[in-house]
Structure 1
Amino acid sequence: MIPLEQNWQNDPRLNNIDPSKLALLQNLAGQSGGRSPSDMLPFLMSAAAQGRQNGLNFSPDEISTILNVLKTGKSPSEAAKLDQIVRLMRMIR
């Protein structure tokens, strides 16, 4: 998986997202380290289900904003991998 930069939460584009949602993402980033792309889809699906159980649902606008932040500074191939994982998650849901 694409590692998250330590300062991604400070991106001003995230100012309107609930801090508890950002904390969940930071926790996921810590847990996802070292996973292969094939392992990431089940991990993310499980994390999404856990978030929903805790009342944390991300709107489409929030998801789009977060993805744009995460793609900042990434190579085209890294950004494409992230897009592919998101597409797979949407297909499964």
Structure 2
Amino acid sequence: MELAAVARQYEAARAAAEPQPGAAEGLAGTAAADFAAQLRLGEETAMGAMSGDADPHALVQALAQTELAVEAAVAVRNKVVEAYQEILRMPV
């Protein structure tokens, strides 16, 4: 596969995973938008570092912030799943 085709496929997949404007309101919507923005910033910094536009310090900082965002999202997901399982265990 040539590089341009891979880049087009990546952009199509990334656009499909982004939250749609107005799809979620309130705190959850804001958190999802902030999460997506942090991932986008990490990707842009990584691409800039690969092309020589960003310094290695900025890349390490962006990757650390992205890692924290992913860990926070996983922790929230785990709590939601735990709460759902607790609800399923309740007697009716």
Structure with the larger RCO, 1 or 2 (CA within 8 Å, 6+ apart): 1
Fold similarity call, TM over 0.5: no
TM-score, with length taken from structure 1: 0.33
Q: Which structure dedicates a bigger proportion of its chain to helix? A: 2
Computing the radius of gyration from Cα coordinates, the structure with the larger value is 2
